[in-house]
Amino acid sequence: MSDPSSAPPVPPPSPAPTPLSAGTAAPYALPGVEPILEVRDLVKVFPIRAGLLQRVVGGVQAVTGISFTVGRGQTVGVVGESGCGKSTMGRLVLRLIPATSGSVSFEGTDVLGMGSKELKAFRHRAQIVFQDPYASLNPRMTVRTIIGEPLTIAGWSKRDIADRVKELMGMVGLNPEHGNRFPHEFSGGQRQRIGIARAVSTEPELLVLDEPVSALDVSIQAGVVNLLEDLQDRLGLSYVFIAHDLSVVRHIADVVAVMYLGKIVEIGPATEVYERASHPYTQALLSAVPVPDPRKERERTRIVLEGDVPSPANPPSGCRFRTRCWKAQDLCAEEEPVLVDRGDGHPVACHFSEVAVVI
Amino acid sequence: MSIDESGSPPSGAYVEVDPTRGSPPKGERRPKTAADFDAADDRNVPVLQVRDLSVEFKTDDGRLLAVQNVSYTLHERETLGIVGESGSGKTVGSMAVLGLLPKTAQVTGEVLFRGRNLLAMSEKERQTIRGRRIAMVFQDALAALNPVFKVGDQIAEAINVHSNVKIATDDERVVDLLNLVGIPNPKDRANQYPHEFSGGMRQRAMIAMSIANDPDVIIADEPTTALDVTIQAQVLEVFERIQDRTKSAILLITHDLGVVAGVTDRIMVMYAGRQVETGTVDDVFYQPSHPYAQGLLASLPRLDRRRDGERLYRIKGQPPSLIFLPPGCAFNPRCPTAEVGRCDVTRPDLVEVSPDHLSACHFAADLYEGTKAATT
């Protein structure tokens, strides 16, 4: 069971025999849009080791069989609460961490099977922006070096890099004269712009944005969201936008995927998911988000879920949401609901899905 | 600037989801207005009056004006929201109320708790009020709870420090409190340590601790910011429930305008240590009369609206440094209506645009009229 090489860890026996992938139905895609990224049955199990020999005694099922596509020039918003696996998913897609199983295909090429050379080329075309603009920039490097680093790796000449960095800084709304400064001399919003400039430096086609505006104040957040939209229009970028803020995602995303405990429970066009939410979890999540409108707030019906999210090391059998669901019946514990269109207009993983207007 | 508030959602927009397992939907709630307080005489009693509160720190770079001339009144059973971004002085202001700031802070003004000035009291005297009559709930419950003591011990301690009769970890009162804030198996939970609690449970334990002595005022500083939305909904529900029961006044400090819209009666918006707008929650949301409040509301992405392709409104620039505040109105470098020679020279006073609705802007009256025009 223990392989000394870097082979991905074998998924340990799960206490309840829940299938990790919920079938191989074609991943959801917006009709008429050419996909740039296709994710199928992606699984990540982090091994839990214990004892003197550090044997694998269990596994945290962080991402368990998710499938979706990202259309060229489009934004897929991935929402869910802490621990639902959305950040892990983002890292898996870029192969920053190895997947346990499944496939990720970028413009028809299998990302998970790439050799080191191919992977390097892929990294120029697919980039990531991290949440924390304080932790993701090296404090000892100047902004010019930070933004130019991907270009250095790509083998650009020093002069070309200098020109490109200036152009990039202007593009993201920073003063190009400030290239010699260090990250601590910038505010949170400006740092996030530095992170974005670095990510788009190699002219990528796909950006994974992992909570890019969560750490920012409201008045600063709007500027960064607008910048991301401008860049998308100008450079034809495709985004995987990971966030827990459902309002921001509604604003920016074309397609929204709702995750719960490692699985996508509902996916569809943003308007559909927000206005015709069909999975009980989506409904609870949306109804829990406070709206900045006092009259609406007074009239809203709030679905307050009981308890907390179960541990991904020992998820419930069948439907993972059943322990907190008010609709749950025996069937939910026995059979895992597959993510398919059940007549709601978009795929939903619930045996008793039903459209409800909750906002 | 138009803050669209074209009205109430169509009737029947809310499908009754019958939550037999989840808790029932929250009942209809109406913010308390001045009229309510007049009607019920006992409610019109101010519990906490803050007058001209200023907090200043001396730094190597000069004087840092964290809070400047803030005044507000909190009545019994009322919930007042203090809204602002990082560095707007909302936390420092509330710490000053409780006398929790380090000695380096220079606090001036008056904080009257039932007519007695807390700032003029000795520390010993203040201790009889802090934690008992005025309680605090902090943002980071994990940091605020002591990891080496059982949760029950810590709640019992909150009672014991103010009482001659000492109670134990799993005393009935502790269990009752945990039960009140919605912690399942309260008896077992009282004997557990903070690390055995989830984030939402820890925040509930903090709330249990704060209400242990039936305080008149609860100051909650970003109590739900670290929590996921479904857990936030649970915690906000707890606040509502305990307010119904204990009749406490709540001072809710937050940057989340959605939370404020849902749970407060009145709000105060702060910018760069100053109070820029105060009024009932409806006044400020539907007739914002300060450019900063207007900009803040307009820049929010909305869960409840289709975007139709437009970009978010963006307030230009950055919040100022509190050491090098711009002269005149602190918001003037970012303000779309700023007038050279006026806004960058004279600091605007708070003016009343309608009864109990104040704005600190030279153009407050015009802006207020503008929102009226936009509404009709």
pLDDT at A309: 87
Q: State the pLDDT at residue B294.
A: 96
A218 CB neighbours in chain B (<8 A) are 85, 255, 257, 296, 299-300
Measured between alpha carbons, how far is B322 from B64 in angstroms, rounded to an integer? 5
Residue A60: beta bridge partners? A46
Nearest to B234 among A250, A289, A304 (CB): A304
Q: B306 contacts in A (CB within 8 Å)?
A: 271
Q: Across the strands, what pairs with B220? A: B137, B252
> What's the structural domain count of chain A?
1
pLDDT surpasses 70 at A31: yes
| Residues of chain A with C-beta less than 8 angstroms from the C-beta of B318 | 187, 189-190, 220
Whole-angstrom distance, CA of residue A334 vs CA of residue B303: 35
Residues B22, A305: C-beta atoms closer than 8 Å? yes
> Å from A8 to nearest chain B CA?
31
Q: Is A284 on the interface with B (CB under 8 A)?
A: yes
Q: Supply the range of the domain harboring residue A293.
A: 277-359
Residue A45 lies in a domain: no
Q: Is the pLDDT of residue A141 over 50?
A: yes
Q: What confidence score (pLDDT) does residue B36 get? A: 57
Residue of A nearest to B237 (CA): A304
CB B22 to CB A294 under 8 A? no
Distance CA A241, CA A116 (A): 26
Taking 50 as the pLDDT cut, the residues of chain B under it are: 1-28, 38-41
Residues of B in contact with A223 (CB under 8 A): 314
Q: How confident is the model at residue A344 (pLDDT cuts 50, 70, 90)?
A: confident
φ and ψ at residue A101, rounded to 5 degrees: -160, 175
B14–A357 CB contact, under 8 Å: yes
ipTM attached to this prediction: 0.84
* Residue in chain A lying closest to B23 (CA): A304
Question: Is B14 in Cβ contact with A301 (below 8 Å)?
Answer: yes
- For B8, the closest of A252, A299, A303 (CB atoms) is A299
| Identity of the amino acid at A245 | D
Residue A325 lies in a domain: yes
What is the average per-residue pLDDT within A59-84? 94
Buried/exposed code over B12-32 (b: 16+ C-beta within 10 A; e: otherwise): eebeebebeebbebbeeeebb
| A286-304 confidence digits (pLDDT tens) | 999 999 999 999 988 888 8
Contacts of B232 in chain A (CB under 8 A): 288, 290
Query: Mind telling me how many Å the CA of A184 is from chain B's nearest CA?
Result: 15
Edge-to-edge strands of the sheet including B357-359? B134-137, B217-221, B249-254, B79-83, B266-271, B274-280, B357-359, B351-354
Nearest to A219 among B26, B85, B302 (CB): B85
pLDDT at A358 over 50: yes
Q: Supply B42's token pair.
A: 């006992």
Place of tokens 């991935």: A78
CA angle B288, B66, B361 (to 5 degrees): 30
Q: Are A240 and A76 in contact (CB under 8 A)?
A: yes
Nearest CB partner across the interface for A223, out of B25, B233, B314 = B314
Nearest to A345 by CA among A26, A35, A22, A30: A30
Identify whether A41 is part of a domain: no
Partner residues linked to A42 by β-bridges:
A66
Q: Let me know if residue A144 belongs to a domain.
A: no
Pairwise pLDDT comparison (A180 vs B10), residue with the higher score: A180
The residues, any chain, with a CB within 8 Å of residue A76's CB and separated by 6 or more, are: A68, A70, A239, A240, A241, A253, A254, A255, A256, A257
**Mind telling me how many Å the CA of B87 is from chain A's nearest CA?**
10
Pairing relationship of beta strands A126-129 and A206-210 according to DSSP bridges: parallel
Is A271 part of the contact surface with chain B (CB cutoff 8 Å)? yes
Contact A308 B198 (CB under 8 A): yes
Is residue A336 situated within a structural domain? yes
Q: Which two tokens stand for residue B217?
A: 């005022």
**What's residue B195's pLDDT?**
92
- Residue of A247, A306, A359 lying closest to B22 (CB–CB): A306
Among chain B residues, CA nearest to A293: B261
Task: Please answer yes or no on whether B302 and A250 come within 8 Å at the CB atom.
Answer: yes
Rounded distance, CA A232 to CA A254, Å? 12
Helix (H, G, I), strand (E, B) or coil at B352: strand
Above 60 in pLDDT, residue A176?
yes
3-state secondary structure of B240: helix
The answer to the question of residue A132 being in a domain is no
**Separation between Cα atoms, residue A184 and residue B61, nearest integer Å:** 17
pLDDT at A210 over 80: yes
How far CA A252 is from CA of A8, A55, B228, B267, in Å, comes to 35, 44, 20, 29
Structure tokens belonging to residue A59: 């596994």
A295 beta partners: none
Using the beta-carbon criterion (under 8 Å), do A358 and B233 form an inter-chain contact? no
Mean pLDDT (whole number) for A326-350:
93
Quick one: three-class SS letters along A87-146?
Answer: HHHHHHHCCCCCCCEEEEEECCEECCCCCHHHHHHHHHHEEEECCCCCCCCCCCCCHHHH
Residue A346 lies in a domain: yes
- Rounded to the nearest angstrom, the minimum Cα separation between A215 and chain B is 11
| A246 belongs to a structural domain | no
Lowest mean pLDDT among A119-128, A156-165, A249-258, B222-231: B222-231
CA distances from B155 to B132, B150, B168, B202, B231 (A): 12, 9, 9, 12, 21
Number of inter-chain CB pairs under 8 A, A vs B? 185
Name the strand (E) or helix (H) holding A246. helix A246-252
Contact B21 A250 (CB under 8 A): no
Report A:319-358 residues touching B (Cβ under 8 A).
324-328, 356-358
Chain B residues within an 8 Å CB radius of A283: 17
Task: Tokens for A221, please give them.
Answer: 């957040």
Does the pTM surpass 0.80? The reply is: yes
Rounded CA-CA distance A314/A178 in Å is 50
d(CA A83, CA B228): 10
Residue type, A161: I
What pLDDT score was predicted for residue A219? 85
Backbone angles phi and psi of A65, in degrees to 5:
75, 60
pLDDT digits (tens, 9 = 90+) for A6-23: 444 544 444 444 444 444
Query: How far does the CA of residue A116 sit from the closest CA of chain B (Å)?
Result: 38
Residues of chain A in contact with residue B233, where contact means CB-CB under 8 angstroms, are 287-288, 302, 304-305
**How close does chain B come to A175, measured CA to CA in Å?**
13
CA distance A40 to chain B (A): 28
Q: Which residues of A touch B13 (CB under 8 A)?
A: 357
A135 interfacial to chain B (CB closer than 8 Å)? no
